[in-house]
Amino acid sequence: MFRGHRRKVRAIFGILDVLIVAAAFELAYWTRVHLELTHTFFLTPPVVALLMGWSIVVWVALGYWWELYDRVDSAHPRVLLRDAFRQCLTGAASVILLEYLSRLDLSRPFVALFAVYTWVLICLVRLNAARILRLMGREFGSAHYVLVAGLGEAALRIGRELENAAPYGIELTGFVADSDDPQNQPEVNLEVRPEVQLARRYPVHPMSRLPELLRRDIVDEVIFAVDSRRLAELEEVFLLCDEEGVRTRVAVDFFPHVNSQVYLDRLGASPLLTFSATPHDEIRLLVKRVIDILLAGAALLVLWPVMLAIALIIRVTSPGPAIFRQVRCGLNGRRFTFYKFRSMCKDAHSLRESLEHLSERQTALKIPNDPRLTAVGRWLRKFSIDELPQLWNVLKGDMSLVGPRPAVPEEVAQYQRWQRRRLRMRPGLTCLWAVSGRDAVDFETWMKLDMQYIDSWSLILDWKIILRTIPQVLSGRGAH
């Protein structure tokens, strides 16, 4: 499905959740009022508006947060029922939380009925998601007709994807041979009347007939899935589509960029086809930076007395400075001074070579029960308190709250080529590895988790990691 259609599906089911929550709220309220229980239940209009508004925001936010709207049309019914139950249970808990914070007096049967009614209605809607989308397509949007130019494997793959997108109003109408002689296309068995057989049969038109097709038939867009060497020869065809006002897309999977996102950018008047193997949305990255500044600044203001006390304890209990400084590699390999509370003895670095054989990892040194740790340092590391000075690194812009951990240059020099991509994201205090076992994670898995974070990065993912890091750190689990 095209990205625009996916956004439309999210919006549709978000709006449906708004209607469901409002309907379930009214139904639960009506049911509770008419139940002959000991206590009379009544809500004033302002309280109704507060509770209903809060519930709508929470339910829809959970739908987006957990990406429930992205799989309503494709997930197994059991998964849909489970997701709806989790959403409604959390939503009901949020209503109870609001009750205590606002000092309201809600009926427990009302809250239970509200959660049950919402779950039943959401399940009915999501189990019939495909029918709803087809109905929406018929009533609120006309079909979107697409031609595919090309007959190779890439073109056939796109054809199958278009068939799968049929519930969203996308209709594949046929193929255009990227040569005027369709018989020169070896991938397809062409008879007297050329056809391509997928889920159903589609006609194959020679490229010379494209102007006629655009004039005669309804064509909303043409997707070109041809050999890269043919693109320059199709300049007139692109110009034809442009003059006709027909949208064109070019499949670029012939480029060897496995991890990259592809988008069109401009430098002045020059269009640039851009491949990015790391997040590139400048607006969202700016929001991430603003969040880093606000949270790191607030944390430093709140925690400075605690950090001062820790520094004094370190100085009193072992010789040496309270703050450990080290050169680390930041964004795209930039060097910066990294700060943390000293957790080892003063001459720890000089002892490193004699202890390297004890390391659990070949690339990043990690020694279980490291003898260089001080008594206080062992406790600081267990609860990651030694990392607090890095809030200053975050405030300066060397680091982020969430991102791959910064490595020392000696480790980076040993990276395999695919591992160097983790340098293309600003390093952070925590990341997926920190909520997946911390020091118990082996080096290979650690690197793969960093790649997973980079490939799936979003602001919501950052918040999920932050919220999961807090209990992980407080418990001390996984720290050596």
Strand duo 144-149 + 170-177: pairing: parallel
* pLDDT at residue 183, as a whole number: 42
Taken in order 203, 207, 208, 211, is the CA torsion positive or negative?
Answer: positive
pTM of the full structure: 0.64
* pLDDT at residue 38, as a whole number: 72
* pLDDT at residue 357, as a whole number: 58
* pLDDT at residue 189, as a whole number: 46
Checking if the pLDDT of 186 tops 50, the result is no
* pLDDT at residue 358, as a whole number: 61
263: which DSSP letter?
E
Q: Note whether 363 and 294 are within 8 A (CB).
A: no
Checking if the pLDDT of 191 tops 70, the result is no
Domains of the chain with CATH codes: 3-135 (no CATH), 142-254 (3.40.50.720), 282-475 (no CATH)
Q: Which one, of 80, 83, 73, 112, lies nearest residue 95 by Cα? A: 112
* pLDDT at residue 340, as a whole number: 93
Work out the average pLDDT over 377-401.
Answer: 91
- Least confident span in 125-139, 198-212, 385-399: 125-139
**Could you report the per-residue pLDDT of 226-236, keeping only the tens digit for each?**
887 788 888 88
Measure CA of the first residue to CA of the last residue in the chain; give whole Å: 46
* pLDDT at residue 185, as a whole number: 47
Checking if the pLDDT of 59 tops 50, the result is yes
* pLDDT at residue 352, as a whole number: 65
DSSP bridge partners of 266: 271
Checking if the pLDDT of 454 tops 60, the result is yes
Is the pLDDT higher at 292 or at 74? 292
Checking if the pLDDT of 56 tops 90, the result is yes
**Could you report the per-residue pLDDT of 338-375, keeping only the tens digit for each?**
999 998 887 766 666 666 656 555 566 666 667 788 88
Checking if the pLDDT of 442 tops 90, the result is no
Work out the average pLDDT over 398-406.
Answer: 93
Cα–Cα distance for residue pair 66/79, rounded to 1 Å: 13
* pLDDT at residue 419, as a whole number: 87
**Could you report the per-residue pLDDT of 298-340, keeping only the tens digit for each?**
999 999 999 999 999 999 998 889 999 999 999 888 999 999 9
Q: Which helix (H) or strand (E) holds 173?
A: strand 170-177
Q: Which one, of 201, 140, 149, 196, lies nearest residue 168 by Cα? A: 140
Checking if the pLDDT of 477 tops 70, the result is no
* pLDDT at residue 39, as a whole number: 75
Average pLDDT value for the chain: 83
Checking if the pLDDT of 271 tops 80, the result is no
- Least confident span in 62-76, 78-92, 354-368: 354-368
Is the pLDDT higher at 140 or at 354? 354
Checking if the pLDDT of 217 tops 70, the result is yes
* pLDDT at residue 192, as a whole number: 41
* pLDDT at residue 479, as a whole number: 57
Is the pLDDT higher at 265 or at 158? 158
- Least confident span in 14-18, 82-86, 175-179: 175-179
Q: What is the DSSP string of 200-257?
A: SEEEEEEGGGHHHHHHHS---EEEE---GGGTGGGHHHHHHHHHHT-EEEE--TTS--
Question: 44 — alpha (psi -120 to 50), left (phi > 0) or beta?
Answer: beta
Is the pLDDT higher at 240 or at 72? 240
